Amino acid sequence: MIRALALIVALFAVAPAMAQSLPSGLDKQNAIVIDTTKGRIVIKLRPDIAPKHAERIKLLAREGYYNNVPFHRVIDGFMAQTGDGKNFNGTGGSKYPNLQAEFSNVPYTRGIVGMARTSDPNSANSQFFIMFAEGSSLNGKYTVIGEVAQGMDVVDKLKRGEPVADPDKMVKVQVAADMK
């Protein structure tokens, strides 16, 4: 009962965000819209540099895998990580196999979105992170999957922690083309 009430409250909190228009010129087939407990984030995916990773993100969004998933690791000045729809704490991945790395020359700067992984470069699965600032130590070592097209102000409002106490969540994640 408490979980249902919390979900209802969270949905009312993001209702204004859901009414926002999307950025002009956005390729809706290659963008995801993340309605969070703090507002809306729109991510422009980069299938030109990471086609398998972009497809995975869209597949999981369409399956509802990311709905109600917390930002479990949010490090001030570095990044906000989410995407564990299995265990909700950063230790899980989807039912699909891990992906082979698709490294590029795109540098990790503010707003860049990358795939989280273990020490194995070919272990990315479902988790991703959004950069708060430049992170050159990640360049060429983690797959860049996109960039924030709208909503960095929302990312900046996420509760910090490693792990985060009472974390903010991705309430609903959709491929922009699928939105009604």
Return the percentage of the chain with pLDDT > 70, whole number. 89
Q: At 4, is the pLDDT very low, low, confident or very high (cuts 50, 70, 90)?
A: very low
* Both structure tokens of 166: 């009472």
pLDDT exceeds cutoff 80 at 160: yes
pLDDT in tens, 128-148: 999 999 999 999 999 999 999
Question: 3-class SS at 44?
Answer: strand
99, 125 Cβ separation under 8 angstroms = yes
Give the structural domain span for 103: 2-178
Its sign, for the CA torsion 82, 167, 73, 148, is positive
Cα–Cα–Cα angle for 32, 89, 1, rounded to 5 degrees: 85
pLDDT in tens, 8-39: 444 444 444 445 799 999 999 999 999 999 99
State the Cα–Cα distance between residues 93 and 49, nearest whole angstrom: 22
Determine how many CB atoms are found less than 10 A away from the CB of residue 153. Answer: 11
- 155: domain CATH number? 2.40.100.10
Region of poorest pLDDT, from 13-22, 65-74, 89-98, 111-120: 13-22
Strands of 128-131's sheet in order across: 69-70, 169-175, 31-36, 39-45, 144-150, 112-115, 128-131, 79-82, 73-75
Q: What is the pLDDT of residue 180?
A: 79
Longest CA–CA span in the chain (Å) reads 48
* Count of domains for the chain: 1
Question: Has this prediction a pTM greater than 0.85?
Answer: yes
